Every structure is written in structure tokens, then in C-alpha cells.
Structure 1
Amino acid sequence: MKPIRNPTKLPRHVLTVTESTKALIIQALDNSPDIRTLEKLHSRIISDPNLCSDTSLSIKLMRAYAASRKPDVTRKVFDRISERNNVICNVMIRSYVNNHFYKDAVLTYKSMLAAGVTPDHYTLPCVLKACSALDDLRFGLQIHCPAVKKGLDLTLFTGNGLVAMYGKCGNLVEARRVLDEMPYRDIVSWNSMVAGYAQNGQFDEALEVCKEMESLGVRPDPGTMASLSPAVTNTSAENVMFVKKIFLDMAKEELVAWNVMIAVYANNSMSTEAIDLYLQMEANGIEPDAITIASVLPACGDLCAISLGKRIHEYVEVKRLQPNLSIENALIDMYAKCGCLLEARKLFDEMQIKDVISWTSMMSAYGRSGKGHQAVELFSKMQSSGLVPDSIAFVSILSACSHAGLLSEGQNYYKLMTGKYKIVPRLEHFTCMVELLGRAGRVDEAYNHIKQMPMEPNDRVWGALLNACHVYNNTDIGVIAADCLFQLAPQQSGYYVLLSNIYAKAGRWKDVTIVRSIMKGRGIKKIPGISNVELHNHIHTFLAGDRSHPQSHKIYEELDILVGKMKEAGYVPKTDTALHDVEEEDKENHLVVHSEKLAIVFALINTEPGTLIRVTKNLRVCEDCHIAIKFISAITERPIIVRDTNRYHHFENGICSCGDYW
């Protein structure tokens, strides 16, 4: 009989087929051996009839292979066992589940029942986890029934599995019923319920469960934060504060808590807070992971925080977090939002794997910067790569054509989408087509396109038409669009302002007064213009007429000098939409202190000559500021990028990339 080939590094004289040998093999299997050692142990076991027939050794061997992510070999060991009990079947099912072979886990469970092996309270949680992953509510129900008959549903692990399964499959009423009937619940029980609501977009209900937990003395843990993460978008300020309270109550070394809180801020238009929290996290010595990076990069893009974005990119490279599709897509999006198209494209070209999101992000970046031809070229390359464009990809290319004035190309893509790819147009596609026609001056066609829609147009569709009416002074259709908007979005101040400006350009001051009177009567206030500019990793925010900044005195002094130079160069303030009963000088004074002008002057004061200036604004750049920034770029010999709610404006030497078409 051959001795064991020393897998445990023990003296050869003890490695004989005895009880002590079996004990040594078990010890080696329990010590998480590497795959090479494991294969040697396996070879020794199957070469000896006494060891090979030992069920306890086979179970140990199965568990070791499962831990080594070798479910296929685990299955081979399983198949060699002639008489199986529920312990052996449980190990096989768990091996499949832990390695994400969920269908195989379900099939093994079915064969276990067919062989007359009775499942126990260890079997069902694993199978329920497989049902959750497969979104198989029907089979989950088939498991629940026998569990109730045998009383297994009252055990903690099975109860938790049922709550998670029903929540994942969208049956929240049944999930809650199971939770309420559980005789004993732990933090996993509650977190499963929170996750069920969150995964189905019911964020308020998820938070109510968190509050219920607290009222019962169950303290939320990092798992609770992780459970909340699928539904952290567009929630109320009150909900954000409650999540923040949970976060503050936790130990600050818990990375998942930081990640979820950053995501909550980033996904709820609180980008400044997301970045501040990320910097706090760094200061506390918490090392970011891939999830952190993917969560904070969109916030960097939203605020044009390019310095921090580049620093995070360097961290990604140092820590070798690439290739990682989520991070790479987030980096492309961040660079694109900061107007760094060359950096975005370089990263895009270097990606080993690209998905539709990668291509769509890059096309969108070109489109919003007015580089429609590059977007068109990229769309063709995506098709050639074998990827099938989805509805979002068509939104990007249609929008790109709209921003660049590529009317015929846009119309052809719309036909391609509906014809070749059989994609049913959504509201986003109709909005793009209205923008495409409207920007091309085809206001009547844009209106007819809306009238032919098979669904009710929303405020974005009518808003696109109203903006076209403003650009091309079409008062008649503008009034129709505004009437629809006041019904669909009665509290959106921007639409009232647009209609007011349409009337003002037409000299219909009485109508201007009526619109502004309606706004006052409904308590609607014009959203203040806010502009952000980054300096030394810090975001500086300016409002129109703002004097709260520490450098305000110097900013206004420099602005007066700059306006004088602009007027000498031919700048004439565009005051035709200001109130008609205000003196011309007052109109000019109001325009000159718009937030983007203050932000640009602040950057001029605090950066070296020739340095690129990046500004983000929460509203569309007004016509006067657009004209003024062209003059500023020429006078100061500075490239300036302004990102408003609609597009990117790259100003250089007195010219804007949009070609005054926005």
C-alpha cells in the first residue's frame, strides 16, 4: 500500500492507513488547502477502499472543493457516494448556491426529494436563496408549503430565507406576513425586509421598517445600510437625514456604511455632500473600494470637480482596480461631464471590455459638446463591434444630432430604431425628436410630431417645444405649449419664465405682467441661478448678485474692469427680455452679476494665465451671459467650459463650440 505523498508535511512514518492517518487528512482538509494539495489528498483518498468509502471524509472533501470554487469536482465526489443523506445533499446544494450555480442547486434539491431524502432546516434556506437569485416565485411557493407542514418555516434561517425570497420576487405582502409571524427575528430578518422594499423601489417603506427596528431596540448595522442602497434615488430630504442618522450611529470603520451614504448623497443631487463625505472618509483612514469610487465619481462630474476626479483616477491605477467596467464607465462619465473629451476618449479606447453603457456615455459626451459627427462615427463603430444599440443608446445619438443640428441624420436614426431594431419609441425619444426639429427651426413640424404621439406627452416634450418657440419667436405655438406645461408641471418656474421671455421678445409687455402675476399668485418663485467652480479640491458656489464670498469685493472690482474692456470690444448687454419698466442701466446691472460671470471672474483672479476655467450651472445659460463669455474668453485669452442643464459650451478666442445653437 502506497503511503500518502506527504500533503500535511508530516513525517512519512505516520502517514499510514490508520485512524491517525484519517485524522491527519481531515485536519489538512479543514485547513483550507490550496487546490494542488487538495487534489493530492483527493487522489490518496480514492486510491484506498477504506478511505474512499468513508462518508465523513467525502463530505469534508466536498466542502473543501466548494470553498475552492470547484462545484464541478464537488459534484463528482457527490456522485461517487452511493447512500446519501440530507447532510450530503445540503453540502452539494450549498456548493452550487455559494458558487452561483442556482439552477443546479434547484435540480439537486428536486432529485433529493425524488430519492426520498428529507430536507431539514439547513436545506431550505439554501434553496430559497437560489429561488431569490433566479427570481423564481413559483418554486419558492412550492418550498414554502412543505416547510409550513413540517414547521420549518418557524426556524430563524428558513424564515429569513422566505422573507428574502418573497422580497426579491416582489411579493412584499407575503414577505411582511412571514416576518410578522416569525417567533424570533434577528438583524438579518429585518434587513431582508428592508432590502425587499428597497429592491422594489419602495424607499419610504424601507425606511419605515428601519424606524420600526429602532423602536423595538434592534440597532441597524452595516447590512441595513447595504439593504437600503438599491433605492436611494430621488428621495425626500427627510429620508436622506434619516439615513444619515443611521450612518452616524455606526462605527466609522465600516466601509459599507460610507459607501451607502455617499451613494445616497450622489443619487439625490447632493453632490457637494457626497464629495465632502468622501474626503472625510479619506481623512479617517478608510480606504475606498471599487464601490466607493463608482459612487463618488458621478458627484465629481456633476460639480466639474476635475482635480479630485483625476486624483481618484490615479488612486484607481495605483490600486489596480482596473479592469472594472463600473469604474471605467464612471470615469468616462466624470471626464465627459467635466468637458475633458480627450481624457474620456483615451480611457474609452483603452478599455478591454466595453458595454452599451460605455459607448452611450462617450456618444453622449460628444453630443452635449456639439460634436455630433464624432458621436455618429462612434455609433457606427458600436454597431460594427457587434453590440446591439438599446433604447438608451438611441436617446444619446438622437440628442447628439439635435445638439449639432444634424437634422437628416437624426431622422434616419429614428427610422433605424423603429424599423430595423423594432424599438418602440419612449417619451425620451419623442423629446429628442421635438428638440431636433425645434432646434432646426421646424417648430410647426415639432408640434405636429407631438400631436401624432401614441401616448400623452409629458412636460419634457412640451418643454422642448416651448424652448424652440422661445428661440424662434413663435408666440402662437409657445402659448399652446405653455398651457399644457402649466397643467402638467404647475410649480415649475422655468416654464413661466420661458413664456414670459417669449412675450417680452415680442414686445407683449401686458402678457409678461400677467404671467408674472400668475407666478406671484401661485407662490412660484424663479429658481435662482447657481454656478460652481472648483479651486484646489474645493467647490466654490455663486448665486446671482452674490456678495457672501470672502473675495466678493475683489471679484466685483475685477468684474467692473472686465465689463469695461468687453464694451470697448463691442459687447452690448442683451436686455430685451428684462422688465420693460426698469431703466436700461438697471437691466445691465442685473445681467452683469449673473452667477456664471461671478464664478468666471473668481477663477480668473485665483488661477494662472491661460488656465482652463470650468463652470457648472443649475440653469440654462442666458443669451447675455453666452455673449459675454465669448468676449471674456477672447479678452483674457482663456479657454472656458460652461456646463448648463442642456449642454457644454466650450468658449475659446471669442467662439463657442455650440455655434450659438443651443
Structure 2
Amino acid sequence: MACKLDSLLEKCTSLSRIKQLQAHLITTGQFQFHPFRTKLLELCAVSSSGNIPFAGDIFREIQRPSTNDWNAIVRGLAQSSEPTEAISWYRTMLRRSQKVDALTCSFALKACARALAFYEAMQIHSHVVRFGFKADVLLQTTLLDVYAKTGDLDGAQKVFDEMGMRDIASWNALISGLAQGCRPNEALTLFDRMKEEGWRPNEVTVLGALSACSQLGAIKRGENIHAYIVDEKLDMNVIVCNAVIDMYAKCGFVDKAYSVFSSMSCRKSLITWNTMIMGFAMNGDGNEALNLLDKMVLDGVSLDAVSYLAALCACNHAGLVEEGVQLFDSMLKSGVNPNVKHYGSVVDLLGRAGRLKEAYDIINSMPMVPDIVLWQSLLGAGKTYGNVEMAEMASKRLVEMGSKSCGDFVLLSNLYAAQQRWDDVGRVREVMKRMDVRKVPGFSYMEVDGKIHKFVNGDKSHANSQEIYAKLDEIKFRIKGYGYIAETNLVLHDIGEEDKENALNYHSEKLAVAYGLISTSDGTPIQINKNLRICVDCHAMIKIISKIYNREIIVRDRARFHRFNEGLCSCRDYW
């Protein structure tokens, strides 16, 4: 009989077959007692051919459900589109005094991770301790993962540190969590520690490490990880290749990204193409991005919404206005429905080109409600082109939408300052104070000799602070001979002219450039990452520095890359 039921289970490849087996168990009187009942329940709740609602119907027919029966339902719900239901079933088990085991807790925690249910995860953690499951490595790894995914990285680290035994999944969960939680330095430190303790990173490990390198612009570390990937033949995995392409592009080496793209031995996915196009976009290579989009079509790959968005971003960063407008029109005709990000890209494209009326008309013609980013784009364009009326209108909409972004107020204030409208500057500052709007501090970081150095505006905490400021004084003296005049009209009007120049001179990217000049060999590129958009004054100053000191200086700001060389920038002063 057991062999016959095993054979029947193998044939349950559809819901109708599952129902036939259930009927067989009921009619033969085996449904309430036979262990195959639980296997049937698992098949219905977990497999692709199953059906969660029907699994619930089967469960309710069981007179005395076992822990395994409950686990089948909790597991199925945890991986369904309604993971919170799994948490509810887990609670029901506790209320009915049903015995839970390590698997029950594991499935419920996976549901918490998917639902980002932090407090529920903490409660289950207490149950894990109370029920004596702390020694279970898989359960501890699941617990670590849920803390990482819900943003409690300190909690995840604590679980990791307290584990008596670890497996590679434990290391991967914490490395990925740190990378995704904006703690890339710690992710790379843990990656190094993992190798020192004799573990061999796998595909999942290198994905987390590459993400960390992308955030930091840590090209040397990224190259070392790429070499490891090739040696271990992990580049047979298309997801790993996509991450390598993304890392090189985000570190400013789009040529290396394209080399990986061109030489892939595994089949390119749609994500591969989109990643490469976006890489060209953020590096300002608009024509290359559009050429690759054409090649993508010729190769028979169907464009999706992300493909169009990446290409529109490329047009935006390269100032290819007509090409961008035509691309958007072709998207509308292709049947791919644009979302608010596509409209935002076109609005930004037109706004940067000074076509503010067209940008405003597109916002008004959208089939969905414009988001905050669209109005911020229009506000930025109004500031760039001195259109006070458009900027004020966009600012009003942003306030109505409840935006408290300091950038919104700073843009309007800078526009007023540029036109010497100091009363209006004061009014904006008062509104910021009343609404408790705080300016996001600017910071920059760079990799030198494998170590990450961070700089904050006006900061003097760096070990080489004295040499950095001495170099800045030298730079300040030399660049004036090349016609540099500080953009002091953008600084608060109620401080002296010399203080205004100092406020500009000590921006984080300038501190980073000065450190790059004193800590790296002549002729080598200086690479910097910044959390905000580079300001007009820093942009003008770094162009001159690149000429005077004969250095290529690469700055990745929040939006794109700027490659300064011989007094020019790759963005052609269009950003």
C-alpha cells in the first residue's frame, strides 16, 4: 500500500490529481491516520501545483492535526503572497497549546523576513530561546537573516556572534544584510574575516561583497573579488556576472563593465542588458547606451519598462533631449506602459534643457498623480534657469505634498540668493526652522591603499587633517591664477565674504581631493564618492585642479559620474 501511495504522490502534478489522492485517502479510511496525509498537505501547501486555500480546506478536515500538519500550512503561507498569514497560524498554534518545533519557528521567521515584521520576529526569538532551539544552526541563521532584513543590523550581528556553530549561510546572511543596510565597510571586513577563517565564498557571498564595493567605489577590492569569481568559475552564474558589471559601472569603470558584458560565457538575461545600459547612463555615455539598446532589439530581446528607463536616464545625463523624447514616444507606441519614473526622467530631461513649459505640461498630462520627485525636478530646473515663478510653484506643490526634504528648501533659497532676494532667503530659512527641516550633511569617501577614508564638510578629524588643510590652502592660492572665483552668492548672506569662501572651500569632496593629492602617486587617478549632488563651486574648482595637477579626478555623486581631466568634465557642465 505504501508503494502504491508513493507512486500516486509522484503523479500529483496538478491540483486535480491532489484532489483525487485526497478522495482516495478518505474513501479508504486512511485520511485521519496515515502519514501520507501530511505529505499530501505539504504537496498542496508548498508545491507549485498546489493551492493554499485548498490546503486549508484539507487541514480543517483533520481531527487531530500533528505539528507536521501545522508546519505544512505555516511553510506554505510563509512563501505565499500573504506571509503575515503564516504568523497568524503560528500564533494560533500557541493559543491551542499545539507543540511547535524548530521547523515551525523557522517557517514563521521566514514569514517575518518577507513581511518585514520586526516585533513579531523578536517574539519568536524569545520562543526559540524558551523552547531550547538555540543550538539549531539553520534556525539561528534564519533569525539572523530576519533581523538583517528588518533593519536591526546590531541584532543580526549579536545573533551571529553568539552562534556556537556557523555554516556558510550564516556568513552570507550577515554580509548581505550589512551590504544592503548601508554598512558596506563592515560587510567587506566580514568578507575578509570569513576567508581568514577558512571559508570559501560562494555565489551568494560574492553578491553581498560586490554590492558593498559598488556602494564604496572600492575598485581594488572589487577587482580582487572579480578575480576570485573567475578562478572559482562563479562567473558561470548570470546573476554573479550582472553584479560584477554593476560593480564596475558604479565604480566608474564602464569599459571594464562592458568587457565583462561582452565576454560572458553564460547566457545574458534581460537584467544583464538593463544593467549595462544603466551603467553607460550613469557614466554619461548616452550614445553607447542607445547603441546597446538597438543591439538588444536586434538580438531579439524584448525591452521592458526598466530597459526604457535606463535608456531615458542615459539621454538625461548626456543631454540627448530629442533622442529622449523620441524614445519616450516609441515606448508609448510599444505597449509598455510608462510609470511615474519614466515621466520623471522626461520631465528632468526637458527641465535640464531649459524647456520648463514642456516639462510642466507633461506633469499635467500624466495619467497618474505626480510624485515628489517630479516637482523636485521642476524646482531644480527653475533654480538652474532662474525661473522664480516656476520654482515657487513647484515648491508650493512640494509643501502641499508634505515634503520636508532639505534640498527643496535649499534650492529655492539658493535661487533667491542668486538674485539677491535676501528677504526671501530669510523667509525660507524661517520656514525650515519652523518645520524642523534639517540639512543633510555632505560627506565623501575614497579608497586609498585598500582603506576607506570618509570626509565631512569642514571636518578635521582625519589623521592627516593638518596636511589636508595645508594642501587646500595651496590649491586655493594656485587656482585663483586660473581665473577661479568662489560662487559665494550661493552661501548665506549674513556672514562675511571670507567666511563664505571658507564655507565653500571645505566641502567634503574638496577635502577628499586634497587628501588624494597628498596620498597617491603623481599621475594616478583620484576617485571619490559623494552622498549628494556635487555643487557648482566644487565642480568648477575640481576642473581647474585636474588641469593644474595633471590628475584625472573621478567623482560619483548621487546622480552620476563626473570625470575631470585637463580642466574639463565628462558631463560637459550638464548635470
Q: Would you call these one fold, judging by a TM-score over 0.5? A: yes
> Which of 187, 191, 211 is matched with 2:106 structurally?
191
- CA–CA separation in structure 2 for the residues paired with 1:330 and 1:396: 16
- CA–CA separation in structure 1 for the residues paired with 2:260 and 2:535: 33
Question: Residues 231 and 331 from structure 1, CA distance in 2 versus in 1: closer, same or farther, beyond 3 angstroms?
Answer: farther
Deviates more, 1:114-123 or 1:302-311: 114-123
Quote the offset at 1:104 in angstroms. Answer: 2.4
- The 8 Å contact of residues 637 and 653 in structure 1, kept in 2 or not, is answered as yes
Matching of residue 244 in structure 1 with residue 160 in structure 2 = no
Quote the offset at 1:443 in angstroms. Answer: 1.1
Match of 2:471 in 1: 558
Quote the offset at 1:92 in angstroms. Answer: 6.7
> Which of 149, 164, 189 is matched with 2:61 structurally?
149
- CA–CA separation in structure 2 for the residues paired with 1:459 and 1:606: 41
Matching of residue 164 in structure 1 with residue 75 in structure 2 = yes
Matching of residue 225 in structure 1 with residue 141 in structure 2 = yes
Match of 2:536 in 1: 623
Q: Which has the larger radius of gyration?
A: 1
- CA–CA separation in structure 1 for the residues paired with 2:63 and 2:518: 74
Match of 2:291 in 1: 377
Correspondence list, 1:253-268, <5 A: 253-268=166-181
- CA–CA separation in structure 1 for the residues paired with 2:337 and 2:221: 40
- The 8 Å contact of residues 445 and 452 in structure 2, kept in 1 or not, is answered as yes
- CA–CA separation in structure 1 for the residues paired with 2:421 and 2:199: 60
Correspondence list, 1:173-572, <5 A: 174-182=85-93, 183-203=98-118, 205-214=120-129, 217-219=132-134, 221-226=137-142, 229=145, 235-236=150-151, 239-251=152-164, 253-351=166-264, 352-420=266-334, 422-572=335-485
Matching of residue 140 in structure 1 with residue 52 in structure 2 = yes
User: For each residue in 1:610-654, what CA deviation from the matched residue of structure 2 results, as whole angstroms up to 9, or x when unmatched?
Assistant: 111110000110000000110111111111110000110011111
Structure 1, gaps ≥5 residues long: 1-84, 97-102
Counterpart amino acid of 1:321?
L
Structure 2, gaps ≥5 residues long: none
Please tell me the root mean square deviation across aligned C-alpha atoms, in Å.
2.4
- CA–CA separation in structure 1 for the residues paired with 2:419 and 2:120: 50
- CA–CA separation in structure 1 for the residues paired with 2:142 and 2:253: 33
Correspondence list, 1:41-190, <5 A: 85-90=1-6, 93=9, 104=13, 109-110=18-19, 112-113=21-22, 118=30, 120-125=34-39, 128-129=42-43, 131-134=45-48, 136=50, 139-151=51-63, 154-172=65-83, 174-182=85-93, 183-190=98-105
- CA–CA separation in structure 2 for the residues paired with 1:240 and 1:194: 16
- The 8 Å contact of residues 105 and 127 in structure 1, kept in 2 or not, is answered as no
Quote the offset at 1:175 in angstroms. Answer: 2.7
Question: Residues 477 and 194 from structure 1, CA distance in 2 versus in 1: closer, same or farther, beyond 3 angstroms?
Answer: same
Quote the offset at 1:533 in angstroms. Answer: 0.4
Counterpart amino acid of 1:197?
C
- CA–CA separation in structure 1 for the residues paired with 2:59 and 2:434: 62
Quote the offset at 1:325 in angstroms. Answer: 1.2
Quote the offset at 1:424 in angstroms. Answer: 2.0
Question: Residues 333 and 252 from structure 1, CA distance in 2 versus in 1: closer, same or farther, beyond 3 angstroms?
Answer: farther
Quote the offset at 1:582 in angstroms. Answer: 2.0
- CA–CA separation in structure 2 for the residues paired with 1:465 and 1:230: 39
SS at match of 1:549: coil
Deviates more, 1:224-233 or 1:601-610: 224-233
- The 8 Å contact of residues 433 and 446 in structure 1, kept in 2 or not, is answered as yes
SS at match of 1:534: strand
- The 8 Å contact of residues 443 and 508 in structure 2, kept in 1 or not, is answered as yes
- The 8 Å contact of residues 128 and 140 in structure 1, kept in 2 or not, is answered as no
Quote the offset at 1:363 in angstroms. Answer: 0.9
Counterpart amino acid of 1:162?
I
- CA–CA separation in structure 2 for the residues paired with 1:489 and 1:323: 48
- Aligned residue pairs, count: 564
SS at match of 2:236: coil
Deviates more, 1:432-441 or 1:283-292: 283-292
Quote the offset at 1:282 in angstroms. Answer: 2.6
Quote the offset at 1:609 in angstroms. Answer: 1.0
Q: Which has the higher contact order (CA 8 A, sep 6+)?
A: 2
Question: Residues 376 and 172 from structure 1, CA distance in 2 versus in 1: closer, same or farther, beyond 3 angstroms?
Answer: closer
- CA–CA separation in structure 1 for the residues paired with 2:449 and 2:138: 33
- CA–CA separation in structure 1 for the residues paired with 2:40 and 2:188: 39
Question: Residues 89 and 537 from structure 1, CA distance in 2 versus in 1: closer, same or farther, beyond 3 angstroms?
Answer: farther
- The 8 Å contact of residues 195 and 206 in structure 1, kept in 2 or not, is answered as no
Quote the offset at 1:144 in angstroms. Answer: 3.6
SS at match of 1:611: coil
- CA–CA separation in structure 2 for the residues paired with 1:510 and 1:546: 31
- The 8 Å contact of residues 137 and 166 in structure 2, kept in 1 or not, is answered as no
- The 8 Å contact of residues 191 and 209 in structure 2, kept in 1 or not, is answered as yes
- The 8 Å contact of residues 317 and 574 in structure 2, kept in 1 or not, is answered as yes
- CA–CA separation in structure 2 for the residues paired with 1:300 and 1:323: 21
Counterpart amino acid of 1:160?
N
> Which of 492, 497, 519 is matched with 1:584 structurally?
497
Quote the offset at 1:215 in angstroms. Answer: 5.4
- The 8 Å contact of residues 45 and 75 in structure 2, kept in 1 or not, is answered as no
Question: Residues 459 and 205 from structure 1, CA distance in 2 versus in 1: closer, same or farther, beyond 3 angstroms?
Answer: farther
- The 8 Å contact of residues 135 and 169 in structure 1, kept in 2 or not, is answered as no
- CA–CA separation in structure 2 for the residues paired with 1:91 and 1:227: 37
SS at match of 2:234: coil
- CA–CA separation in structure 2 for the residues paired with 1:130 and 1:228: 29
Question: Residues 479 and 86 from structure 1, CA distance in 2 versus in 1: closer, same or farther, beyond 3 angstroms?
Answer: farther
- The 8 Å contact of residues 90 and 123 in structure 1, kept in 2 or not, is answered as no
- The 8 Å contact of residues 45 and 72 in structure 2, kept in 1 or not, is answered as no
**TM score, norm. by length of structure 1:** 0.80
- CA–CA separation in structure 2 for the residues paired with 1:327 and 1:130: 33
Question: Residues 131 and 241 from structure 1, CA distance in 2 versus in 1: closer, same or farther, beyond 3 angstroms?
Answer: same
Quote the offset at 1:342 in angstroms. Answer: 0.9
- CA–CA separation in structure 2 for the residues paired with 1:319 and 1:290: 10
- CA–CA separation in structure 2 for the residues paired with 1:436 and 1:90: 62
- The 8 Å contact of residues 395 and 408 in structure 2, kept in 1 or not, is answered as yes
Quote the offset at 1:115 in angstroms. Answer: 5.5
Question: Residues 503 and 205 from structure 1, CA distance in 2 versus in 1: closer, same or farther, beyond 3 angstroms?
Answer: farther
Quote the offset at 1:474 in angstroms. Answer: 1.2
